[in-house]
Amino acid sequence: MVDYKLLLDEAKEARKNSYSPFSGFAVGAALLAKDGRIFRGCNLESAVFSPSLCAERVALAKALSEGVTGFSALAVVGAKAEEEPSEPCYPCGVCRQVLSEHVKLREFEIVVEEDGEPKVCTLAELLPSAFEFEK
């Protein structure tokens, strides 16, 4: 049973480390591995823009580079840096695709916050007709 509120709190903690001076939009993510570990990520921008990293892929890269595979859920929060998140913040299309390559699409849950409560859907719902590469 996933503790969605805890996962959102972890994403909010991660968001505090966002480096987003160019967009002014701070994002935090918390990725729950099946072994129970939580990997935090925040967006990290660059003055040359294209190397900028989304919070979700930072969290995923941390986990994968530690040899962790098998994930249950990802919480995301985002808002202008000087504001508290109040609207749901969903992963961008690039992150949806990258995540889809490391999780079970129809089981993996995306958690956002709406009206102070967790709102949960599957990655398959956010990425219908996904490109699935036969490995």
Write out the residues near ligand THU by the rule CB under 6 A. Answer: 20, 23, 25, 27, 43, 45, 52, 54-56, 91-92, 95
In the residue annotation, 87 being an active-site residue is answered as: no
d(CA 82, CA 93): 25
Indicate which residue of 10, 13, 45, 56 is catalytic: 56
Q: Least distance from C-beta 55 to ligand THU, angstroms?
A: 4
Closest distance of CB 45 from ligand THU, Å: 5
CB of 1 to ligand THU, least distance (A): 26
Identify each DSSP E strand in 7-116 by its residue range. Answer: 25-33, 38-42, 71-80, 109-114
What's the CA gap between 38 and 7, in Å, rounded?
A: 8
DSSP letter (8 states) at residue 91:
P
Residue positions annotated with a catalytic role:
56
